[in-house]
């Protein structure tokens, strides 16, 4: 179990919570009691970006990350999660504040976590376990920078999954530039974790042949005038997606650049979250929840099963796996009563 340190520190508008992965034996009994009582391992502040940290034992240092928990979060309800990766020279605090990120998370009931990836140039393992190469390791960086960068993402994911009631079928990965390349790399390296991927202006590494290992939907966004990540490279990867008949969306923004097109584009971020809201892990379809006919206020029907009910919205899934999120009030009164009873049983 990942344990919590006492105390809360407020810095630069972030709520700071430090999580210590060392003191398991000291705090084990107390934390077991708290867990049994249904308490969170570390108190979270809903509706605000929190600055958190944990003791990264293998790196021998305290590692920061950022977390956003929507105000609608309830411990009893399984909640979707977005893991968000920053670009080269950036950090978790900057990427989680891209226009639209927290607004969409709040609107749709997503938790968002932004790991550091060890530092601002770790590449999340996409360029190997070492640190050699341009725009990669610097003097003073550990020789296994790439390995530690990759492990940091997985450890932060472990922390969030242990603290919150995360829907294991709805964990999404998204990143910008270096983080976009990391999204593709971690997407094919750990294919059983993610429900969908969204690399934005991705600094892609290696050959497009690695796409054969990705079995989930992917949305790629880039700017037509991006001078840092050449649009021609991105187009070649997308062409390979077409050849593989991958479920994918490609959005090339006319006149778009590498930065503002991604960092200050809430409409595009909304499209990414809408894309995420459409998909969950394939194995989720095998759950035993029965399908039924739902009717909206206009009299149109859809044969589907409920997935989640939260914050006045319902997510339902058709037999073909397509997922829809609708306001509860858009459905018939009979359906609304059914869903309220269903949510109570969950």
Q: Do domains 3-283 and 287-345 have the same CATH topology?
A: no
Please tell me the predicted confidence (pLDDT) of residue 7.
Answer: 28
Would you say domain 287-345 falls under CATH 3.40.470.10? no
CB 92 within 8 A of CB 121: no
Please tell me the predicted confidence (pLDDT) of residue 308.
Answer: 86
* Cβ partners under 8 Å of residue 37, min gap 6: none
Take residue 296 and report the two structure tokens written for it. Answer: 């909206």
Where do the domains of the chain lie? 3-283, 287-345
Please tell me the predicted confidence (pLDDT) of residue 183.
Answer: 98
pLDDT tens figures, 301-327: 888 888 888 878 889 888 788 888 989
Surface-to-core class of residue 346, CB atoms within 10 Å of its CB (0-12 exposed, 13-18 middle, 19+ buried): exposed
Angle between helices 145-163 and 178-189 (to 10 degrees): 70
Instruction: Please state, in angstroms and as integers, the Cα–Cα distance from residue 261 to each residue in 114, 151, 221, 300, following that order.
Output: 20, 29, 10, 38
Q: Which residue, 102, 96, 142, 99, is CA-closest to 119?
A: 142
* Cβ partners under 8 Å of residue 299, min gap 6: none
Take residue 344 and report the two structure tokens written for it. Answer: 């109570």
Please tell me the predicted confidence (pLDDT) of residue 70.
Answer: 96
Please tell me the predicted confidence (pLDDT) of residue 287.
Answer: 54
Which positions of the chain have pLDDT values less than 50?
1-13, 15-41
Instruction: Give the separation between CA 97 and CA 151, rounded to whole angstroms.
Output: 23
Please tell me the predicted confidence (pLDDT) of residue 311.
Answer: 78
Would you say domain 3-283 falls under CATH 1.10.20.10? no
pTM of the model: 0.76
Residues in the chain, overall count: 346
């Amino acid at each position: 179990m990942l344990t919590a340190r006492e105390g809360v520190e407020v810095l630069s508008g972030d709520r700071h919570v430090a999580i210590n992965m060392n003191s398991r034996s000291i705090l084990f009994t107390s934390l077991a009691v708290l867990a049994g009582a249904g308490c969170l391992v570390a108190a979270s502040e809903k509706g605000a970006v929190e600055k958190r940290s944990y003791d990264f034992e293998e790196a021998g240092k305290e590692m920061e990350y950022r977390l956003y928990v929507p105000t609608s979060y309830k411990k009893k309800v399984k909640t979707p999660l977005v893991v968000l990766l920053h670009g080269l020279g950036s950090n978790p605090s900057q990427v989680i504040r891209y226009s639209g990120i927290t607004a969409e998370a709040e609107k749709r009931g997503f938790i968002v976590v932004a790991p550091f990836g060890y530092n601002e140039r770790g590449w999340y393992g996409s360029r190997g376990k070492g640190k050699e190469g341009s725009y990669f390791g610097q003097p003073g960086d550990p020789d296994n920078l790439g390995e530690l960068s990759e492990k940091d993402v997985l450890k932060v994911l472990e922390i969030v999954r242990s603290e919150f009631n995360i829907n294991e079928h709805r964990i999404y990965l998204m990143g910008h530039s270096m983080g976009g390349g990391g999204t593709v790399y971690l997407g094919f390296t750990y294919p059983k974790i993610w429900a969908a991927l969204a690399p934005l202006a991705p600094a892609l590494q290696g050959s497009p042949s690695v796409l054969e290992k990705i079995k989930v939907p992917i949305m790629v966004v880039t700017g037509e005038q991006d001078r840092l990540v050449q649009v021609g490279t991105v187009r070649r990867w997308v062409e390979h997606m077409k050849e593989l008949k991958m479920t994918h969306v490609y959005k090339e923004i006319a006149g778009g650049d590498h930065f503002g097109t991604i960092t200050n584009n809430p409409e595009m971020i909304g499209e990414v979250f809408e894309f995420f809201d459409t998909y969950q892990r394939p194995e989720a379809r095998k759950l035993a929840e029965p399908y039924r006919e739902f009717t909206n206020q206009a009299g149109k029907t859809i044969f589907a099963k409920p997935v989640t009910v939260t914050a006045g919205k319902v997510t339902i899934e058709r037999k073909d796996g397509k997922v829809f999120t609708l306001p509860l009030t858009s459905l018939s009164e009979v359906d609304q009563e059914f869903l309220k009873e269903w949510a109570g049983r969950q």
